[in-house]
Amino acid sequence: MRKDKIVYLLFNLTMVGIVGFSLLSELFPVTTCDKWQYSANSTHAKYYAHPVKIIIKPWRGQHHVYGKFLIPQGYQNDGFFTLTLPGNQTYCGSLKTVTPQIDGQPNNAKIRGYLNTRIALWIIMQGHLNDLKQPQNWKLAYFEKRKNKS
């Protein structure tokens, strides 16, 4: 095969892959923020944290796109974080408490907010890698735990 035919073939395969990925993402969304709307009705005073560090390595597979958040001990979160890109496109991700405290930060809980790898790849393919790297686009809501009445 000639070199120009190989390039043409690779280009077409890439385009088919992108279109296929786009169609599948629309048909089978990974997650939506709708199931977490209950938290907006919470009566607690809410505070917001942005990640102190963002890791973006989707080529390493699942669980390699996340933000590291710190929230004060004695507070709890909504169970998710939001990523809002320009144009008000919002994605939600899940949380995992990593450790109850951090060296040098004994009064803070360390939480990882994981963004689905498929969503991260879609955002990157749309040219929003720099927006994905911006801590102000990631937001974790937290509030004071209820105290038990005796």
Length of the chain as a residue count:
150
DSSP E strand stretches across the chain: 46-49, 53-56, 65-72, 75-77, 80-85, 89-99, 108-114, 138-144
For residue 109, pLDDT over 90 is answered with no
Rounded average pLDDT over 42-51: 82
**SS3 assignment, position 66:** strand
Give residue for tokens 């911006």.
Answer: 134
For residue 10, pLDDT over 90 is answered with no
For 138, residues 6+ apart whose C-beta sits below 8 A from its C-beta are: 50, 51, 54, 67, 81, 82, 83, 113
19 — pLDDT class (breaks 50, 70, 90): low
